[in-house]
Amino acid sequence: MTVRTRIAPSPTGFPHVGTAYIALFNLCFAKQHGGEFILRIEDTDQLRSTPESEKMILDSLRWLGLNWSEGPDIGGPHAPYRQSERMQIYKQYALDLVEKGHAFYCFATPEDLDQMRAEQQARGETPRYDGRGLELSNEEVQRRLAAGEAHVIRMKVPQEGICKFNDLLRGEVEIPWAQVDMQILLKTDGLPTYHLANVVDDHLMEITHVIRGEEWIPSAPKHQLLYQYFGWEMPVLCHMPLLRNPDKSKLSKRKNPTSINYYRDIGVFPEALLNYLGRMGWSMPDEREQFTLDDMIEHFDIQRVSLGGPIFDVEKLNWLNGQWIKGLTPAQLLDRLLTWKSDRKTLEDIAAAIQPRIQLLSEAVNWAGFYFNQFPKLEKEQFASKKLSEEQVRQSLQFAIWRLESIMSWNNDSVSQTLMQLAEQMDIKLRDFMPSFFIAIAGSTSSTPVMQSMVTIGPDLCFARLRHALEIVGGPSKKELKVWEKLNESLKLPKNDANDEA
């Protein structure tokens, strides 16, 4: 048997270090066993998936050196490797399950399901699908299908007993079937859910070992059941511990930058980031801290993974990156420096921004320095405004982060329109609104045009700086957060509707 593992990211945002972490362990396991590591794009979420996000994911994994032998960019014997190009495959398998009696049609509307959950909560029960679709006769199902009534296909799930499955790190895991919902397999728009597409693709692509985050443990019973229904052998499951913030909470961009591109932009070596991710819950047999990808593959043993939540500590990563820097010759370091900021388009944008402001080339350093820094040095007093209250400053930064995060294409028009619209909706003049952003991004109001600067430094570094500034001035408390989220949404409404909301 040839060992085959995969990484299957969804192209719905910026490439996450958690994706690299899981990809690293999949690659090491496969290569240690002389097997293959493949990449599949799970883009069934048509509203949020974008080609730009897919490209960023592929580019960032390649930058790290996590190379795959089959994938959407290079093809392979199991193509296509994008789920959006495999829709007819999933539909046929869903219909097969219905025909075999393992799945059923459900015509419940969203309103029906909302009422069902409300009634369950009123009785003190955990909300879950009540199986109402199973009560329909075949004649009624056929009549409603013929009438074109909206429907989904759900899988049948036992209501009693215990599901048992084996995990490579945990041994036998038990989950009561009463905790497992009758999962939707095919949605009303004909698109598959993650669970159906994942199982079908893993089987057809001959995946032998599924190494994924522990957040998928509750889904394992559904997947095991689907394998049984199809009559297929289930891959070996291995659920990795989740990366965590220093406070032990799940790693999130609100407490730590999570984009791979951010760490590339601030000058972390790809070898150092892989080295650090390799130490997340795993260690070399000789306990050394610094090692290469080849070292990790050579000595890899999945049983050395610790189930304690590994802490993603940026300071520790910076220290480790420093060790890699110290191991270079000056000539090698110069090559790294020149490669780090070698994108000519970015350098031309910086040159264009500082050109009207300098008389000597030596002055370029003062004007351009913030483009290359991680964070500008900030003090809370810098954000004091004669025109805005402290709360307005805090809200403007937080609202901007939320809105900029939803931008699909990061360019001067999208960034400037987002900020100008927010200022208008907050009823703040742009000249009073923008100083906080100059300070957050450049560290001073004496800077090149800040909206263009945000585009030039890119979204990852921009978000990190805005969150850093928000931390300096004081981000929202848990209580404020809910109020602010509602306020931010109400600001987007027409004035009359917004007043009604208030």
Can you give the CATH number for the domain in which 252 is found? 3.40.50.620
Mark out the alpha helices in 327-372 (DSSP H runs): 330-340, 344-354, 364-368
CB neighbours (10 Å) of residue 72? 20
Residues annotated as catalytic are: 253
Same domain, 318 and 388: no
Same domain, 235 and 251: no
Same domain, 191 and 305: no
Q: What angle do CA 243, 247, 250 make, to 5 degrees?
A: 35
Domain that holds residue 118: 86-240
Residue 162 to residue 180: CA distance in whole angstroms: 10
Same domain, 164 and 135: yes
Same domain, 231 and 277: no
Quote the number of domains for the chain: 3
3-state SS record for 258-284: CEHHHHHHCCCCHHHHHHHHHCCCCCC
Going by the DSSP 8-state scheme, the letter that residue 235 receives in this structure is: P
Same domain, 109 and 181: yes
Contacts of 216 (CB under 8 A, 6+ apart): 239
In a domain, 101, yes or no: yes
In a domain, 135, yes or no: yes
Residue that is last in its domain, among 240, 267, 291: 240
Residue 464 to residue 466: CA distance in whole angstroms: 6
Q: Is 253 annotated as a binding residue?
A: yes
Same domain, 264 and 227: no
Beta bridge partners of 388: none
Residue 117 to residue 132: CA distance in whole angstroms: 13
Report the CATH number that the domain containing residue 456 is assigned in CATH. Answer: 1.10.10.350
Type of residue found at 144: R
Residue that is last in its domain, among 324, 353, 387: 324
Residue 332 DSSP SS3: helix
Q: Report strand pairing: 103-106 vs 171-176.
A: unpaired
Say how many CA atoms lie within 13 Å of 119 toward its Cβ. Answer: 8
Going by the DSSP 8-state scheme, the letter that residue 70 receives in this structure is: B
CB neighbours (10 Å) of residue 409? 9
In a domain, 185, yes or no: yes
Are 345 and 411 within 8 A, CB to CB?
no
First-to-final CA distance of the chain: 63
Report the CATH number that the domain containing residue 120 is assigned in CATH. Answer: 3.90.800.10
Residue 398 to residue 392: CA distance in whole angstroms: 10
Angle between helices 478-491 and 390-405 (to 10 degrees): 70
The token pair at 367 is 């004007």
Phi and psi of 416, rounded to 5°? Answer: -65, -40
CB neighbours (10 Å) of residue 387? 12
Same domain, 208 and 302: no
Beta bridge partners of 6: 38
In a domain, 78, yes or no: no
Residue 47 to residue 84: CA distance in whole angstroms: 12
In a domain, 337, yes or no: no
Q: What is the dihedral of CA 346, 352, 357, 359, to 10 degrees?
A: 100
Same domain, 132 and 199: yes
Q: Would the pTM count as exceeding 0.85? A: yes
Residue that is last in its domain, among 170, 205, 240: 240
What is the distance, to the nearest Å, from the Cα of residue 297 to the centroid of all Cα atoms in its chain?
26
CB neighbours (10 Å) of residue 366? 12
73-120 residue pLDDT tens: 999 999 999 999 999 999 999 999 999 999 999 999 999 999 999 999
3-state SS record for 278-316: HCCCCCCCCCCCCCCHHHHHHHCCHHHCCCCCCECCHHH
Burial 438-468 (b: 16+ CB within 10 A, else e): bbbbbbeeebbebbbbbbbbbbbbbbbbbbe
CA distances from 107 to 21, 36, 84, 117, 150 (A): 40, 42, 25, 16, 6
Same domain, 236 and 109: yes
The token pair at 163 is 């599901």
Are 258 and 251 within 8 A, CB to CB?
yes
Per-residue model confidence as pLDDT tens for the chain (502 residues): 899 999 999 999 889 999 999 999 999 999 999 999 999 999 988 888 899 999 999 999 999 999 999 999 999 999 999 999 999 999 999 999 999 999 999 999 999 999 999 999 999 988 999 999 999 999 999 999 999 999 999 999 999 999 999 999 999 999 999 999 999 999 999 999 999 999 999 999 999 999 999 999 999 999 999 999 999 999 999 999 999 988 888 887 777 789 999 999 999 999 999 999 999 989 999 999 999 999 999 999 999 999 988 999 999 999 999 999 999 999 999 999 999 988 899 999 999 999 999 999 999 999 999 999 889 999 999 999 999 999 999 999 999 999 999 887 899 999 999 999 999 999 999 999 999 999 999 999 999 999 999 999 999 999 999 999 999 999 999 899 999 999 999 998 876 554 444 4
Are 384 and 435 within 8 A, CB to CB?
no
Same domain, 442 and 359: yes
Are 56 and 261 within 8 A, CB to CB?
yes
252-302 residue pLDDT tens: 777 778 999 999 999 999 999 999 999 998 999 999 999 999 999 999 999
Same domain, 272 and 211: no
